[in-house]
Amino acid sequence: MAEQKQHSGGREAEGPRHVAIIMDGNGRWAQARGRPRLFGHHAGAKRVREIVEACPDLGVKYLTIFAFSTENWKRTQKEVAGLMSLFRRYIQKEAQDMLARGVRTRFIGDRVRLEPKLVDLMDELELLTAENDRVHLTIALNYGGRDEVTRAARRMAFDVAAGKLDPRDVDEETLPRYLDTCVLPDPDLVIRTSGEARISNFLLWQSAYAEYEFIDTLWPDFTPEIFAEVVARYGRRERRFGAVLSE
The residues assigned a catalytic role are: 24, 72
Q: How far apart are CA 70 and CA 142, in angstroms?
A: 5
- In DSSP terms, 103 is beta-bridged to 135
Beta strands in 4-134 (DSSP E): 11-12, 18-22, 62-69, 103-108
| Cβ proximity of 221 and 48 under 8 Å | no
The H-assigned helical ranges of 162-241 are 224-235
Task: Give the full edge-to-edge strand order of the sheet including 62-69.
Answer: 103-108, 135-143, 62-69, 18-22, 189-192, 211-214
Q: How far apart are CA 92 and CA 154, in angstroms?
A: 33
Q: Are strands 238-239 and 11-12 parallel, antiparallel or unpaired?
A: antiparallel
| Cβ proximity of 156 and 127 under 8 Å | no
